[in-house]
Structures are given as structure tokens and as C-alpha cells.
Amino acid sequence: MSAPVSRLFRPLVGAALLLLGATVGLRAALPPMGLLPSAITDPDMARADYVEQCAGCHGVNGSTAPAQLPELRGRVGWFLCTPQARAYLIRLPNVANSRIKDNQQLADMMNYVVFGLGGASAPQGAAPFTADEVARERQHALSTTTLSAERASQVESAIRTCKAPASLRLLYPGQKG
């Protein structure tokens, strides 16, 4: 290969390697798919939907600190411990009013969130979200004015009922109370 042609390909090869590295880095930041329930019809799509719909605010790996948003990583699974808290997750405005109109696709994404990002915080034996559950609950979207109070109520219930850690009251670990 001549030197001028080689110089043309170097930037392309460099860009390809950079893109490959970014993809590998993104995959490494996400939870392994093995933690997800088999009820997810398309795990890759669920993960991609999360990245597209939620990661801009909640972070690619569910960690938001020090943003003033609830951290999902290792914590969101606690919301599966009561029927009211489960419903709360689907009724969140950005979930209930999501651009994802297919209820199974949205259920898959939420299962990725609670079982993948939530990891060990999801109660043992917790049932995955279903398309029917999503269809029912998303009709009752919360308003943004009720979110803080509703979250606080569901967190207190999880602490009382399910022995969730008191640190769940904080938006993210290490937050100054």
C-alpha cells in the first residue's frame, strides 16, 4: 500500500477503533444480561430503550450522583416489594407517558431497570412487570407535582415493610441529608 493511501486509512482505522472502544466501554458499564429475568422478550432492545429513554438523566449505569435524581443502581429493586411501589414505578410521568407505546417493550425496559440496574435490591422471587400490568398502570400517570411526596411515601413503606435500607430515603448514596 502506498504512503498516501495509508495516510487516508489511518484516520478511518483510528475512528473504527475508537468506536469499538466506546462500545466495549458502554457494554462494560451496563449490568450483565444474566441478571435479567427470562420474561424479557428482547434484552438487547430493553437495554437500548433504557439508554435512549432514561440514561440521559439517570446515567447509563443507573448512577446519577451528585445529580438531584434518584439513583437506580443497586436500589430501584426495593420498589418491587409492595404493589403500590411497583405501580409507582410505572406511573412515573416519563415511564407512563413514554414514547414507547408497546406495553411489552416498556415492561421489558422496566424489568431491565429493576432487575438489571437494581440487581440485588430486587426482592428474591419478585415477579417481572408484564404488558398487562404496564397497560393498566400507565393510565394513571403521576404529575410532576406529586413525585417527591409519592416517592417518600413508597420509600417509607419499603423501609417498614421490606426492611429496605434507610439510605433509600436519600436520592443517591452519600447525599448530604
Share of the chain above pLDDT 90, in %: 55
Q: What is the model's pLDDT at position 2? A: 56
23-46 pLDDT, tens digit each: 444 444 555 544 566 778 888 899
Q: What confidence tier does 167 reach under pLDDT thresholds 50, 70, 90?
A: very high
Assess whether the previous peptide bond of 32 is cis (omega < 30° from 0). Answer: no
Alpha-helical (H) ranges within the chain are: 3-29, 43-53, 55-58, 83-91, 93-96, 103-111, 131-137, 147-162
DSSP tag of 112: I
The residue that leads in pLDDT, 19 or 129, is 129
In 3D space, the residue among 173, 168, 42 whose CA is nearest the CA of residue 108 turns out to be 42
Lowest mean pLDDT among 38-42, 123-127, 165-169: 38-42
Domain residue limits, the chain: 1-30, 35-169
For 35-169, which CATH superfamily applies? Cytochrome c-like domain (1.10.760.10)
Q: What is the model's pLDDT at position 133? A: 98
Whole-structure pTM value: 0.78
- When the pLDDT of each residue in the chain is averaged and rounded to a whole number, the result is 83
Angle between helices 83-91 and 147-162 (to 10 degrees): 150
Lowest mean pLDDT among 68-72, 95-99, 157-161: 68-72
83-114 pLDDT, tens digit each: 999 999 999 999 999 999 999 999 999 999 99
C-alpha cell at 85: 411501589
